[in-house]
C-alpha cells in the first residue's frame, strides 16, 4: 500500500510539472502560478516521504500489508534532500566568507562591500540580512544618477529578502531537477524576482535611468567573482535574452504595482499535506 501512495505522489508531481505552462498575464498571476508549479511537487514528495516514515515498516492499511521497500525509498529521498541542503548551505557560506574579505565603505547612507574587479557587478550577498556588494568597475563606470538606480534596485532585493527565499527555492530546484520543466520554472522565478525589484526601484528613481543602468551593467556582467547564485540576488542576473528584454519593456511601460503577498493563493499548498492524512489509516 505504501508503494501505491508513493507511486501516486510521484505520478501527480510528474503530471503537474509535465503540463506546466508559464502565464503571460499580470505579474501577480505569473508569480503565484509559477510559485505553485515550482513548489507544490517537492512539497508533495516531502510530505509523502514523511508520512511513510511515520507509518514505519510494520502494520497494515486496510487489507494491505505494509513493507520496508517504500520506507527505505522515503528515508533515502529525505537523506538526499538533506545532503543537497548541506551542500548548498556550504557553498553559500563560502561565498559570504569571501565577501567578508572585501573592503567595506559607505555610499550615501548605505554600507557596501567593494569587489576588487573592473567588471560591472552589483548584488546582494547573504541570507536573511544580506549585504550589498559593488565592484570598483561599476563605481568608476556609472554616473551618480545611474548608480542611485542600481542602489534602489538592490534595495528592492533587500526589502523582499530575495537571498533568503531564493536559497530555499534553489534547494527545491536541486531536489526536483529530475522533474520536467524545473529549469523553465526556475528561469521564470528569476525574471519575476528582478521585475519585482525593478518595480520597487522605480517607485523611488526614474525608470528610464534604471533601464540605462541595466544595459550598462549587463554589458560588463560577470558572476565569476561570486561563485554561486544561492545567496546572491544580482542586478546582472537577467542578462540572458528574453529576460533582459522583459525587464527593459516593463521599465519602459512602467509596470503595474506589484503585490506578491496575497493570501488567496496559499490555501492551494494545503493540498500538499494530503499524504499526512494516510497516517490516520495506518494500523
Q: What mean pLDDT comes out for the span 217-229?
A: 58
Q: How confident is the model at residue 270 (pLDDT cuts 50, 70, 90)?
A: confident
Structure confidence at residue 224 (pLDDT):
45
Contact in structure between 123 and 102 (CB atoms under 8 Å): no
| pLDDT value for 56 | 67
Q: In the chain, pLDDT over 90 holds for what percent of residues?
A: 23
Domain map (residue ranges) of the chain: 2-281
Give mean pLDDT, residues 90-119: 84
Question: Left if phi > 0, otherwise alpha if psi is -120 to 50, otherwise beta: which for 70?
Answer: alpha
What's the whole-number mean pLDDT along residues 142-151? 90
Q: Which residue has the higher pLDDT, 152 or 221?
A: 152
271 secondary structure, DSSP code:
G
More confident call, 77 vs 3:
77
| pLDDT score at 156 | 92
pLDDT of residue 239: 46
Distances (CA, A) of 260 to 34, 88, 152, 196, 254: 12, 26, 19, 9, 18
Over range 122-130, report the average pLDDT.
87
Sheet holding 232-234, edge to edge: 103-107, 110-115, 131-135, 122-125, 232-234
Q: What are the residues whose beta carbons fall under 8 Å from the beta carbon of 10, sequence distance 6 or more?
A: 45
- Does residue 129 or residue 234 have the better pLDDT? 129
Residue 123 confidence class, pLDDT cut points 50, 70, 90: confident
Whether residue 257 is predicted with pLDDT greater than 80 in this model: the reply is no
Whether residue 65 is predicted with pLDDT greater than 60 in this model: the reply is no
Residues paired with 184 in a beta bridge? none
* Environment class of 78 (CB within 10 Å of its CB; exposed 0-12, middle 13-18, buried 19+): middle
Q: Model's pTM, two decimal places?
A: 0.84
Amino acid at each position: 500500500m505504501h508503494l501505491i501512495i508513493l507511486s501516486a505522489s510521484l505520478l501527480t508531481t510528474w503530471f503537474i510539472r509535465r503540463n506546466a505552462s508559464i502565464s503571460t498575464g499580470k505579474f501577480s498571476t505569473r508569480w503565484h502560478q509559477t510559485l505553485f508549479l515550482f513548489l507544490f511537487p517537492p512539497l508533495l514528495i516531502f510530505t509523502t516521504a514523511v508520512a511513510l516514515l511515520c507509518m514505519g515498516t510494520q502494520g497494515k492499511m486496510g487489507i494491505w500489508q505494509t513493507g520496508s521497500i517504500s520506507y527505505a525509498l522515503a528515508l533515502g529521498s529525505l537523506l538526499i534532500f538533506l545532503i543537497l541542503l548541506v551542500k548548498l548551505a556550504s557553498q553559500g557560506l563560502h561565498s559570504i566568507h569571501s565577501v567578508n574579505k572585501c573592503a567595506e565603505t559607505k555610499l550615501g547612507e548605505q554600507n557596501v562591500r567593494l569587489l576588487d574587479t573592473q567588471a560591472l557587478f552589483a548584488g546582494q550577498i547573504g541570507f536573511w540580512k544580506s549585504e550589498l556588494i559593488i565592484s570598483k568597475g561599476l563605481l568608476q563606470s556609472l554616473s551618480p544618477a545611474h548608480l542611485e538606480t542600481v542602489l534602489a534596485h538592490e534595495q528592492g532585493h533587500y526589502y523582499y529578502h530575495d537571498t533568503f527565499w531564493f536559497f530555499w527555492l534553489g534547494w527545491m530546484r536541486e531536489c526536483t531537477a529530475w522533474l520536467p520543466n524545473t529549469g523553465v520554472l526556475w528561469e521564470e522565478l528569476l525574471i519575476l524576482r528582478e521585475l519585482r525589484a525593478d518595480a520597487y526601484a522605480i517607485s523611488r528613481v526614474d525608470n528610464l535611468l534604471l533601464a540605462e543602468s541595466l544595459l550598462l551593467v549587463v554589458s560588463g556582467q560577470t558572476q565569476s567573482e561570486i561563485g554561486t547564485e544561492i545567496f546572491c540576488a544580482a542586478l546582472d542576473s537577467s542578462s540572458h535574452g528574453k529576460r533582459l528584454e522583459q525587464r527593459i519593456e516593463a521599465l519602459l511601460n512602467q509596470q503595474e504595482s506589484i503585490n506578491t503577498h496575497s493570501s488567496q493563493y496559499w490555501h492551494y499548498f494545503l493540498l500538499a499535506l494530503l499524504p499526512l492524512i494516510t497516517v490516520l489509516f495506518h494500523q
